[in-house]
């Protein structure tokens, strides 16, 4: 007879949604969803529920959105459900030890890297920025540290040369849901063995902010091409032409030697925008002005003159 675990799910962004749906569709008893409070989002700053809340409501699952998870009332509420597992996927808050210890079996986390590499809140972006050839997802037993718990299952995923953080995010979110269900099945079969991480091999993926999208032209063209892909769609790569902010979506490094200062626009064909970097030259392929739409560079330059010698900052 199939073991049906009683699960409390904790998650917030779109990355968490496939895991929640997989639990529901595979017959697990998701008794409660915990997600972060509704927040202002988008240009209009309209107060909007998280992707997980919207999904849970559509599935008919009870949702709570505690302002704090460190209160006795929150812990008592979780205990009242007598869960077998807590499943955490990108919830966005660090769970206190007393909450981690509540489930009968344990608290599972799905993390978007092959731990101990890329611990922290932004592993997908940094996998692309760092030029990793391979990343993946893993399930682990949570402890009091930041992504330091014992590993349960791993699933590698190649980082493609054209990947942005957005395209890689979508593949890893789907893969994470599969790993979650496989992990729970192996628990039911008693065929899973937690493996301690080698902490000496740990690397970190710190949180990114909007300001982190600013392009540093002193870096090499190769690293900037990866950076632009790694911060797309968020926080987005940008530079300044005077006071005008230009958002860069796609680029290509060129192995061209130059003596011009980084950030200087080079002479090129009329439909090209080539910019000097610390090493090499970066050709800008897709761009967006301060008020406009994303365009290929040829279309953008028809209405925006950026002559050679112009310095981007």
Residue 207: closest CA among 174, 229, 231, 233: 231
- Residue 257's pLDDT is 86
**Are 156 and 136 in contact, with CB atoms under 8 Å apart?**
yes
At residue 172, φ and ψ (nearest 5 deg) are -70, -35
What does the buried/exposed string (b/e) look like for 50-73 if buried means 16 or more CB atoms within 10 Å of the residue's CB? bbbbebbeeeebebeebeebeeee
Residue 140: closest CA among 177, 108, 165: 108
Residues of the chain with CATH 3.10.25.10: 210-303
Dihedral angle of Cα 34, 37, 42, 46, to the nearest 10 degrees: 130
* CATH code of domain 6-201: 3.40.50.170
Residues of the chain with CATH 3.40.50.170: 6-201
Q: Which two tokens stand for residue 291?
A: 């008020």
**Are 188 and 3 in contact, with CB atoms under 8 Å apart?**
yes
pTM: 0.95
pLDDT in tens, the chain (313 residues): 456 899 999 999 999 999 999 999 999 999 999 999 998 877 778 889 999 999 999 999 999 999 999 999 999 999 999 999 999 999 999 999 999 999 999 999 999 999 999 999 999 999 999 999 999 999 999 999 999 999 999 999 999 999 999 999 999 999 999 999 999 999 989 999 999 999 999 999 999 999 999 999 999 999 999 999 999 999 999 999 999 999 999 999 998 988 999 999 999 888 999 999 999 999 999 999 987 899 999 999 998 999 999 999 9
**Are 213 and 237 in contact, with CB atoms under 8 Å apart?**
yes
- Residue 2's pLDDT is 58
SS3 string of the chain? CCCCCEEEEEECCHHHHHHHHHHHHCCCEEEEEECCCCEEECCCCEEECCHHHHHHHHHCCCEECCCCCCCHHHHHHHHHCCCCEEEEECCCCCCCHHHHCCCCCEEEEEECCCCCCCECCCHHHHHHHCCCCEEEEEEEECCCCCCCCCEEEEEEEECCCCCCHHHHHHHHHHHHHHHHHHHHHHHHHCCCCCECCCHHHCCECCCCCHHHHECCCCCEHHHHHHHHHHCCCCCCEEEEECCEEEEEEEEEEECCCCCCCCCEECCCCCCCCEEECCECEEEEEEEECCCCCCEEHHHHHHHCCCCCCCECC
- CATH 3.50.50.60 is the classification of domain 210-303: no
């Amino acid at each position: 007879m199939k073991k049906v675990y009683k699960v409390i799910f904790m998650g917030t962004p779109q990355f968490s949604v496939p895991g929640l749906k997989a639990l529901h569709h595979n017959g697990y008893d998701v008794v409660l969803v915990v997600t972060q409070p509704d927040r202002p989002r988008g240009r209009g700053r309209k107060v909007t529920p998280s992707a997980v809340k919207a999904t849970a409501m559509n599935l008919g699952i009870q949702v709570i959105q505690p302002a704090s998870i460190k209160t006795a009332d929150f812990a008592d509420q979780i205990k009242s459900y007598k869960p077998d597992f807590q499943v955490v996927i990108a919830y966005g808050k660090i769970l206190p030890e007393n909450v981690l210890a509540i489930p009968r079996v344990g608290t599972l986390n799905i993390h978007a890297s092959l731990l101990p590499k890329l611990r922290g809140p932004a592993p997908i972006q940094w996998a692309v920025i760092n030029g990793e050839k391979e990343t993946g997802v893993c399930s682990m037993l949570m402890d009091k540290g930041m992504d330091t718990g014992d590993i349960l299952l791993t699933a590698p995923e190649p980082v493609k040369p054209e990947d942005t953080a957005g395209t890689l995010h979508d593949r890893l979110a789907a893969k994470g849901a599969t790993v979650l269900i496989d992990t729970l099945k192996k628990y039911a079969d008693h065929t899973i063995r937690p493996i301690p991480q080698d902490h000496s091999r740990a690397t970190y993926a710190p949180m990114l902010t909007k300001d982190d999208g600013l392009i540093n032209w002193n870096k090499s063209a190769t690293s900037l091409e990866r950076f632009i892909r790694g911060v797309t769609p968020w926080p987005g790569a940008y530079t300044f032409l005077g006071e005008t902010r230009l958002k860069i979506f796609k680029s290509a490094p060129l192995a061209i030697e130059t003596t011009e200062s980084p950030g200087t626009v080079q002479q090129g064909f009329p439909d090209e925008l080539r910019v000097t970097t610390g090493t090499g030259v970066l050709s800008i392929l897709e761009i967006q002005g301060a008020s406009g739409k994303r365009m290929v560079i040829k279309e953008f330059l028809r209405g925006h003159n950026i002559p050679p010698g112009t310095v981007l900052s």
